[in-house]
Amino acid sequence: MLAINTILIAEDIEDDRLMLMALLKGHGYKTVGAENGQDAMDKLAKQKFDLIISDILMPEMDGYRFCLSTKSDERYQKIPFVFYSATFTEDVDEALAKEVGADLFIAKPTDPEQFIIQIKNILSPVEKKTPIDAPVSHTNETNLTKQYNQSLSTKLAIQAIDLKASEIKYKALFETAQSAIIICDSEKLIDCNTTCLKLLGCHHRDQFIGTKITDWSATTQPNGSKSTLTAARYITLALREQKQSFEWNLKKLNGELFPASVELSSMVIDNQLLIQATVHDISQRKRKEQQEQLHKEVLRQLLDSRNLATVLEKIATGLEHEIPHTRCSILLADAQNQLSLIAAPSMPDSYQQAISQSFTESSNCLYKQAIQQGRKIIERTPTSSQQPTDYKIMSETGFNACWLEPIDLSSDDTCVIAIHFRDKAMPMTTQNIELFSFYVKLIEIAIQRYEANKQLNLANAIFQHSVEAMLLIDKDYKIITANPSFTTVTGYSVEEVIGKTPHILRSGRHDEKFYDKMWKSLADTGQWQGEVWHKRKNGEHYTEWLTITTIYDDNGEVLQRAALFSDITEKKKMDELLIKQANHDSLTKLPNRNLLKTRISEEITKYHRTKIPFAVLFADLDHFKEVNDSLGHDLGDLLLIDAAKRISECVRETDLLARLGGDEFTIVMTDLNNPHSVERVANAIIESLSRPFKLDTEIAYVSASIGIAFYPDDGDSIVDLLRHADQAMYYAKAQGKGRFCYFTKTMQENANYRASILNDLRTALPSNQLELYYQPIISLRTNTVIKAEALLRWNHPQRDIISPLQFIPIAEESGLIIDIGDWVFQQALAQLKHWRQHFQADFQVSINKSPVQFKSLSQHADWMDTLSRESNYPEPGLVVEITESLLLQEDPNIMLQFKQMQHNGVKLSLDDFGTGYSSLSYLNKFGFDFLKIDKSFTQEIVENSDKRELCNAIIVMAHALGIEVVAEGIETLAQQDLLSEMGCDYGQGYLYSKPVSVKKFEQILKNGLVN
């Protein structure tokens, strides 16, 4: 490695010397500076140098003598010597330089690059120089001295000219300088420039010249010292050629104090040693420093959790310090403009109490006006008697003007800062507005930081006390901290995990693809959440719900990530249980309707992919209700459980068996490459369920009716498929139960027809489409009309007259029979009343009452109430006809209704006797008044001896029980004569009349006889 050359530079002008040293250092040289030739000789004696560069004109020892001294000394004569000097006689100076032994002469100024090139050349010569034994060997000493003196004289002359020019230039700079400059001696001020006069508020120099520096100074200075002593010390040091820099409190002509920076240096003018003082007004800088200090103090107090009032008092005090003779108060207004005084450190207690009171009493105080209107400046308080309360309060406390500035905070609150002035408000100058704005901003920052600290404290409290585990991770995925809940969930203490990665929690249940997706989501969106299996410290695995949020810095780079998670292991177990309960039958544990629909939906989707059909089987247990009613629900449940087991044994593992409720089961048979396999399964289910069920000590028998529908032929939706399978099942029941039936188009048409009838039936009653027809019942003894049966007809606007056989079953299923039956009762009762008044006083009308109506206790009560009010005609009059199926229910409420009807004069008639569960015990138990032989017996009485004998037996039996008999369906005289011979009481049928309208029936009544 090459050694670094060291260069000695002799130059009396400091700026030139430093500039030259910087230039050489920039090119890799070491430099040492000297102020003149003598100083350079001293440094040569102490250190080795590779090159000397010297100016010519220098005090104490000039450059020529310095060069002669080095070349005459064996220790230094081999060191290259370079003159670098300004000159007007370059040729003469260069020749003299060579005469004294210099190796190179470079005239100032020169190009820096050329200068460096010449320095490099002289430090690396091509040929080795011959040592100089005698510096003046080629000329005589007298000639050299002459040339030397001549050169020095020339330079001194030039310097004198330069000095004069410098004095002229100094005078011009002195007067035009932007800095204030003062010339003084040790006792008085001699001169100053125009800038100084303006700074001190003087109009003429006469006001300044001859005074002392202490006349323009504060009594004491920033460090507390007396101005007189301190000024004398600074001047003394400056006269000793020691520059002095310090801060000083100056005083203007009007007595106003201001801080200044002062620099003192000595100078000689006309052979007199004087002091030059350069003065700068540093009021703005000091104000900024004080404001910055106040800002720091406010933030420090906020960090120390000081309350807001203490912090705002600190700000108010700072504002009062910056604007003398003022007082400051700070107030807060909430969203309803309710004011409260927060800080008023220098205001008297009387003001604070009075102003707080005025907020609640006055709706139009100055502060509220400022909130509504913005900045408000009051120059003088008004004197009218109508002035607001706060005007009076300010006047009473000695303040006659104020500035009010509202500050809108990020919340709904507003802050108002008020500056009170004794005399008048300070002018609205830019400087004052900037000053005021600083404090306004500082108050805003203080309140926002205070609120932010509250939020941080709240966040920290949440972090520490949250029931959910929290983890903070840095950008390198290292754990920074965790909360106590983290320890509760994982078993790790905070100290154990700090600096580690969350990998310590990994359970191994997730592959890398899982984590790749997680990190991709974090990279793309900054967030991720989901379920994760993790491992506790003790090795136990658990499930957690994890949410990760990324926190970015101001540049959008990842700063930290926050992880929030909770142990959901038990919750998942509970959720799975709830899902199972929501999708499975609690009794049989089979899938329920929800899961069934889901599975059918999946099969529909699958069909569109594979085109393989599937089937839905709807199975209903026949006679289950009888088992449930007779043996009880507990044994009924055992039967259902056993039935579910038997059905499951008949279907494949790939099929789905579900219980929809009650005694209904549904099977979804999938992948039906051979649809005939459905029939085998259906037969297997029917056969299995037909075997006896052993229920504890009881034996029960049921069968199954099954409806079958295929997708997509029998329905293209879940609803259609289930409905059609259900329709097919009901058709199987109608065919005799214990069998299966495929869905057909006819079933759908019938179902659609029933739906249409039901829809129209809902409007039939309010639209007056229903009408009662009456069929006469004659006495077979007198051949006269003494009764009538009311039969309902529906005059449909599009379908003409609809038979009751078509719509009554639909009305019963839908519950519309309640309203329709009530209407029939009211109409028939009114008609009976009319006919009894105008035709026969003992006339009777029969109405049919559906078993469904007997379940409506409210309707029964209304009927009984109506009958109890109808006491103006002799009884009996109304006959209620019921079917044998009602008697099988053995409901105590039905027996009670029978008795109440009979108590109110209603006669009971048992309709269609002989077609159902005919029983003498029923006839005797329920106390019927009439018994009607079904028309299926009547119409065959002539030809069929068995039917004839049966009819005769019925008549005899009824009479024995005191019951009168009505024969339905009489169409011939032969049938009438036989029944009459048997002693039958009444006849009804087309032989006499078909059911007719009220008008036609009244015509029959007028004739008294029928055809």
- Residue 578: the pLDDT is 74
Structure token pair of residue 172:
């011009």
Structure token pair of residue 523:
């990279």
Instruction: Determine the Cα–Cα distance for residues 370 and 510; give it in Å rounded to an integer.
Output: 63
Instruction: Determine the Cα–Cα distance for residues 176 and 171; give it in Å rounded to an integer.
Output: 9
Instruction: Determine the Cα–Cα distance for residues 791 and 811; give it in Å rounded to an integer.
Output: 15
Instruction: Determine the Cα–Cα distance for residues 612 and 671; give it in Å rounded to an integer.
Output: 6
DSSP 357-391: HHHHH-SS-HHHHHHHHS-EEESS---STT--HHH
CA dihedral 24, 26, 30, 31 (to 10 degrees): 40
Over the Cα atoms of the chain, what is R_g? 61
- Residue 138: the pLDDT is 40
What is the distance in angstroms between the CA of the first residue and the CA of the last residue of the chain? 150
Q: Do the Cβ atoms of 7 and 51 come closer than 8 Å? A: yes
Instruction: Determine the Cα–Cα distance for residues 833 and 605; give it in Å rounded to an integer.
Output: 66
Ramachandran angles phi, psi of 712, nearest 5°:
-100, 5
Please give the single-letter amino acid code of residue 915: T
User: pLDDT tens digit string along 168-191?
Assistant: 666 777 877 888 999 998 889 999
Show the DSSP H helices in 539-592 as ranges.
Answer: 569-583
Instruction: Determine the Cα–Cα distance for residues 722 and 564; give it in Å rounded to an integer.
Output: 46
Across 6-15, 512-521, 659-668, 870-879, least confident range: 870-879
Q: Do the Cβ atoms of 825 and 813 come closer than 8 Å? A: no
**How far is residue 878 from each of residues 371, 777, 875, 898, measured CA to CA in Å?**
87, 14, 8, 13
- Residue 428: the pLDDT is 65
- Residue 726: the pLDDT is 92
Tell me if residue 795 falls in helix, strand or coil. Answer: strand
Mean pLDDT of 92-101: 82
User: pLDDT tens digit string along 245-283?
Assistant: 999 999 999 888 899 999 998 888 777 888 999 999 998
User: pLDDT tens digit string along 481-493?
Assistant: 999 989 999 999 9
Q: Tell the residue number behind the tokens 């290259």, with chain if given.
A: 80
Q: Do the Cβ atoms of 926 and 961 come closer than 8 Å? A: no
User: pLDDT tens digit string along 540-577?
Assistant: 999 999 999 998 988 888 889 999 988 888 887 877 77
Please give the single-letter amino acid code of residue 155: K
E strand or H helix at 669, and its extent? Answer: strand 664-669
User: pLDDT tens digit string along 846-867?
Assistant: 999 888 888 888 887 888 888 8
Instruction: Determine the Cα–Cα distance for residues 86 and 89; give it in Å rounded to an integer.
Output: 9
pLDDT band at 160 (very low <50, low <70, confident <90, very high): low
Instruction: Determine the Cα–Cα distance for residues 996 and 984; give it in Å rounded to an integer.
Output: 24
User: pLDDT tens digit string along 50-71?
Assistant: 999 999 888 888 888 889 889 8
User: pLDDT tens digit string along 315-334?
Assistant: 888 888 777 778 888 888 77
Buried b (16+ CB within 10 A) or exposed e, 529-568: eeebbbbeeeeeebbbbbebebeeeeeeeeeebebbbbbb
User: pLDDT tens digit string along 794-805?
Assistant: 998 888 888 888
Q: Do the Cβ atoms of 388 and 364 come closer than 8 Å? A: yes
User: pLDDT tens digit string along 768-780?
Assistant: 989 999 999 999 9
Quickly count helices (H) and strands (E) in the chain: 34, 36
Least Cα distance to 932 among 867, 985, 981, 992 occurs for 985
Q: Do the Cβ atoms of 316 and 328 come closer than 8 Å? A: yes
- Residue 877: the pLDDT is 87
- Residue 131: the pLDDT is 40
Instruction: Determine the Cα–Cα distance for residues 787 and 992; give it in Å rounded to an integer.
Output: 12
Least Cα distance to 928 among 846, 824, 829 occurs for 846
Tell me if residue 149 falls in helix, strand or coil. Answer: helix
User: pLDDT tens digit string along 332-386?
Assistant: 877 776 777 788 888 777 776 666 666 555 555 777 777 777 776 776 655 555 5
